[in-house]
Structure 1
Amino acid sequence: MPLPLIWAGVGLGACVAGYHLSRPAKTKAGLALKPRDIPDGAVVYCGIYGMFEHSGIWVEGSVIERHGCGLIKAVAPRRFIDKRSGSTIRVACDSQGNPLACEQIAAQAVQRIFEYDDYHLLARNCHHFVSQCLGHPDKVILFGELTTVLHDYFDSEVRWREIVLD
């Protein structure tokens, strides 16, 4: 009888270990950015219950995201993290800590606001939307794949810095 419980514990332990190994490194104290320091077209993400990531594009102080219902919309930063991690947004930066951003990415995201596409966790999710704004035609499903696309797009190391919301 205890064997199924042991296997469940091993499986849960593997999931937790995999999550912690795939997480971006935490930023050092004092390196957080203010929203006014984030340029349009920067890629941002927040955590979802400590297990997954949700990504979007920063434009004019808002985040353009593909919501779980499939609608692409602009939301306030606090709304972006509401009912997810509830506390932190991070922005993709180069090795010197400068946000990686491009006006073309912002323009692509803005152009797609109010589009609707059937959301699917493993096909048309938020990371796929962001990668499309980067002009990446392939299906990007995982956060690690999105980070690789960012690395290739900007030809830069990608580090994630925290944004401190007022």
Structure 2
Amino acid sequence: MALPLLWLGAAAAATLAGIKYSNKISQHRGYVDVLPGESSLSVKPLDGAVVCCEVYGVLDHTGIWFDDGVIELNGNGLIRSISAERFLADRSGEEIFIACDTFGHPLIAEHTHTRAVSHLYQYRDYDLLNNNCHRFVWQAVSGVDEPINRFGDLNQHLSLLHQSSLSWLKMSTN
């Protein structure tokens, strides 16, 4: 009886790994030069910058940097402001990455942090696939609420908006 459960677990792990690999391939299609963790360069965060961290090696969680912390859509649907340490807590990622241009400058759209702050302490009907952190981040960046389901979709939209390939660089702690 235990053997079928092991096979099921292995199949689930393989499926998740395949999804992650597929996402990485699609992210590189002209929109991303450097994925999170691919560079040792670091950059200081600025208000309105898009930040991300890894979640158990399969997903990426995004938010907006503001006032020495991150504004995020939490999994319970609450839009909240939290510390960098809390942004990483209960996730596998040990570092925060910032969306930058090819020269290492954080990409910040006008009014991003103002829009993010205006949503603080509101609730959304959170859904991992259809109403997630990437959708919230895009709405803060662009002012448009449209379906952004995957990290790769967010990368594409950010790249097109800023007319630059993205480089996800480590957040400097200095």
Bucket of the pairwise TM-score, normalised by the shorter protein: 0.7 to 0.9
Aligned twin of 1:102: 109
Aligned twin of 1:19: 20
For residues 113-143 of structure 1, what are the alpha-carbon distances to aligned partners after superposition, in whole Å with 9 as ceiling and x for unaligned?
1111121112211111001112233200110
| CA spacing shift, 1:83–1:3, aligned 2, 3 Å | closer
Contact 2:36 2:97 in 1 (8 A): no
| CA spacing shift, 1:6–1:121, aligned 2, 3 Å | closer
Q: How many residues align?
A: 162
**1:87 corresponds to 2:91:** no
Aligned twin of 1:60: 67
For residues 7-49 of structure 1, what are the alpha-carbon distances to aligned partners after superposition, in whole Å with 9 as ceiling and x for unaligned?
86466335314414534253433x112xxx2111110011111
Identity, % of aligned positions: 34
Letter in 1 for 2:107: L
**1:119 corresponds to 2:129:** no
**1:157 corresponds to 2:165:** yes
Contact 2:52 2:98 in 1 (8 A): yes
Where structure 1 has 5 or more consecutive residues not aligned to the other structure, the ranges are: none
Stretch deviating more after TM superposition (101-110 or 63-72): 101-110
Letter in 2 for 1:28: S
Contact 1:88 1:164 in 2 (8 A): no
Letter in 2 for 1:161: L
Contact 1:42 1:91 in 2 (8 A): yes
Contact 1:40 1:102 in 2 (8 A): no
Aligned twin of 1:28: 39
| CA spacing shift, 1:75–1:25, aligned 2, 3 Å | closer
Aligned twin of 1:42: 49
| CA spacing shift, 1:150–1:56, aligned 2, 3 Å | same
Letter in 2 for 1:61: D
CA RMSD of aligned residues (A): 2.3
Where structure 2 has 5 or more consecutive residues not aligned to the other structure, the ranges are: 25-34
Aligned twin of 2:153: 145
Give me the TM-score of the superposition, normalised by structure 1: 0.85
Whole-angstrom distance in 1 between the partners of 2:23 and 2:11: 18
| CA spacing shift, 1:113–1:11, aligned 2, 3 Å | closer
User: How far did 1:105 drift?
Assistant: 0.7
SS at match of 1:38: coil
Contact 1:46 1:81 in 2 (8 A): yes
Whole-angstrom distance in 1 between the partners of 2:5 and 2:96: 38
